Structure 1
């Protein structure tokens, strides 16, 4: 196992050893891991911010191919960490080794995806409207527009994905690809994992000639360090994945407690409703029950796309399905959760929901919290009671789901209309089902960032078409995605150049199109140059 120093990464250096320490707790071992990690001092935090601010004009001006080389070097360095990285993440997260190996590959691939986006280059959305000097009654100036980076970005590592949504995860990869330096707040559960990956990023930055300050990773307590970063004038945007409470705290700080508000892209809370329609249940109810049970308990339910809500019509077929789903969930053994805080919160949330008027507990398993293990739970409520009690929409982060029984179509539509914003919504139905329930489908579609047909919501593909976002409170900005190529657009803004001298035009807006990118020229998409 690679030796851990327990220090923050500050540009091309490391922080100093501090008196205040943090220790990662292993739910596998049931105790803190022995390595001590120094909490970044105020001076170290300020140094990281100063370096990032100084790096921004240099880093943002680099050709996309140079930033692509940086991202590819990070990917290579992470892969080169080998089993040391997997084993450390296993101890710190409780996640099984095969899951972590797959997540590492996903992290490497999303870095490569953004590198490919940079090499192709059209992501800057270049638009050229050439001058019309003879237009009547007024001439038109030469107008050229493209996306440019915002500035240093604060990224908050997530608890449930120690690789893909953490130190070198999607937020970091997207921000770096856009030309924004990153200051990463390490998650206190993954301190060793963070140090290994932060070192891989630092090594890549030096090897590819990036400016110092392009990346720093800081250890610290969540609220104290997070609020300091959110308030600092050097930070121009925030990427966050975590709880509603923490996300909204950052959002309020960034919106209200600064002289200049900044965008916060926080993925926070989603219960991912699943509509099971009658004809499909008659044909495939048992198979769907097994598939859904696997999705509910996948990763001990610690996915942001965990199916936490199941909507059914109240009839005999639905009762048969519920019986099959209950049996499938009861067969799943308890499993180790990410950390002791999440485990405790799971059992508390499950107990709270089960005590709400009208809620029926279908699976009552022993509390395995002392062993940091989560056991499956299934609860049930009528649509009328669900609508009257908004607290039933609070996320239970773990292997639990709530069945909503609807008397008829209108009850199902009313339940859907009452829903908060979600990351995903799933529809199981035959062609006939989907036609019959078209109004309900439209309601569900209006609430989600991704609509899934005849499949479970767990599993997020890293590609160009993916949307991993949704209306509030799933995210603070439902117009964006935190997964896929379009995630880069969270950390940029449009700039228009009017009558700019040709010698000052950036390559993406030059007449000759030296980058050979797709541009909108006088309203038409093309790679051609303006006609003279």
Structure 2
């Protein structure tokens, strides 16, 4: 391997060690030692971010756009090394990581273009009116950055949702320094990307505290980071249990802060009668492919398909089982994820009313497809069946009638996505479901599969709890930048004292 990690923390432009270390557990290659973050290093990183905010938070959009583009350049320069260590740590194939790297750099460049446009600032102006009763003052409003942001790397996206991923990119675009807590599943990948960000900051003449990387496998490090009084918001992608614990800590602080967490989703697919009758087998094959993509380790994995019971539903389940039966076991991201997948699979198989169609053998760090069927009545009676099992696991729910399918939609928890498979004659049925589904999810799809999230202006990647902890936000797309801004109104303020972005308004 060309890149050899040194296992230290990046704080204020320096690589610093700690006495306690943890050992990585790569899918291939030799394990490596990495330093475990402690309170002293966490405090240093956050204070360095606060120091950087006094210049970076008041930098121009042009300066921040140049920085984002330079980060993308530096990541691309290290492309082959990133792929090599990322694949060794995660077990993800090179092609997947190369695509994810392109998504990461593309997102950085998209945000650079977006902030140059300036529309995200939502600038408003009410001129003074001495003739009004009562007289009204001159008012100008603009969105301003909030301060240092903590970001937690995701296990399933070593690049796009981690060190330089969407949370980091959107916070930097907003003008907020970032302290990243790297995920212990891919610390070497985090280190080389952190190196790229630090190089970009140096070349752009930006305060080195604008970005810090803390490594660690302990929960204590994450807790200490989100409770540090100088942290102003948190971006998180991970498990429901871990995310909820950090969310509660943010709420319990003396000064509570927003926690933008993406926690879990089963992304239900509703197969309406005519589509099921006309295209059921094709939909089944597509669903199986989406279900097993990346060993099912996507937050948009479509874990549940809801049908109307009958011969068409049976044929759909059989076709899905056949397609899944052709997929063998594959390496998962971590041993812990593989263990949790098998445990979840076993629990579902043992639930009353559940029939097992596919449950391929897998052990160690591997996962293999699993498929179950259950009646709508039994599904409604067992809320645990609607909880996410992270991996290639699907449940076909066979509702007795349209009323029961609507009841399932109404009882669903918050989701990242909901999908309708429909033909023209299903339109009226679909119309009755849409009001329920749009209350449940941030993204509604028709005749497609949610796996894969386009990085685009209109994308919403979030939803009601437990899909995310803030239903008014998205972690993908240019609206993600708004999470790390707050509106400030300036009343009768001399132009010389206004932020540069307001001086020529009005």
Fold match (TM-score > 0.5):
yes
Residue 6 in 1 paired to residue 2 in 2?
no
- Please give the alpha-carbon distance, in whole angstroms, between the structure 1 residues aligned to 2:87 and 2:220: 27
- Please give the alpha-carbon distance, in whole angstroms, between the structure 2 residues aligned to 1:168 and 1:375: 30
For 1:50-449, list aligned pairs within 5 A: 50-135=47-132, 137-256=133-252, 258-366=253-361, 368-370=362-364, 372-449=365-442
8 Å contact from structure 1 (residues 434, 441) kept in 2: no
| Post-superposition offset of 1:394 | 1.4
Residue 474 in 1 paired to residue 474 in 2?
no
Larger mean CA deviation between 199-208 and 383-392 belongs to 383-392
| Post-superposition offset of 1:82 | 2.3
| Post-superposition offset of 1:5 | 1.1
- Please give the alpha-carbon distance, in whole angstroms, between the structure 1 residues aligned to 2:232 and 2:442: 25
For 1:24-39, list aligned pairs within 5 A: 24-28=24-28, 33-39=30-36
Structure 2 unmatched runs, 5+: none
- Please give the alpha-carbon distance, in whole angstroms, between the structure 2 residues aligned to 1:452 and 1:314: 23
8 Å contact from structure 1 (residues 27, 340) kept in 2: no
- Residue by residue, what CA displacement relative to the aligned partner does 1:247-299 show, whole Å, maximum 9, x if unpaired? 0011000001x110000000001000000111112221221111111000000
- Please give the alpha-carbon distance, in whole angstroms, between the structure 1 residues aligned to 2:238 and 2:448: 25
8 Å contact from structure 2 (residues 25, 31) kept in 1: no
8 Å contact from structure 2 (residues 43, 228) kept in 1: no
8 Å contact from structure 2 (residues 10, 16) kept in 1: yes
- Please give the alpha-carbon distance, in whole angstroms, between the structure 1 residues aligned to 2:208 and 2:368: 47
- Residue by residue, what CA displacement relative to the aligned partner does 1:142-189 show, whole Å, maximum 9, x if unpaired? 111111111100000000000000000000000111011100001001
8 Å contact from structure 1 (residues 409, 437) kept in 2: no
- Please give the alpha-carbon distance, in whole angstroms, between the structure 2 residues aligned to 1:507 and 1:8: 35
- Please give the alpha-carbon distance, in whole angstroms, between the structure 2 residues aligned to 1:34 and 1:322: 42
- Please give the alpha-carbon distance, in whole angstroms, between the structure 2 residues aligned to 1:64 and 1:118: 6
| TM score, norm. by length of structure 2 | 0.98
Aligned partner of 1:504 among 482, 497, 500: 497
8 Å contact from structure 1 (residues 467, 484) kept in 2: yes
For 1:447-486, list aligned pairs within 5 A: 447-486=440-479
- Residue by residue, what CA displacement relative to the aligned partner does 1:402-450 show, whole Å, maximum 9, x if unpaired? 1111111100011111110000001000122022332223212221100
Structure 1 unmatched runs, 5+: 514-529
3-state SS, counterpart of residue 362 of structure 1: strand
3-state SS, counterpart of residue 363 of structure 1: strand
Matched length: 505
| Post-superposition offset of 1:23 | 1.9
- Please give the alpha-carbon distance, in whole angstroms, between the structure 1 residues aligned to 2:28 and 2:287: 27
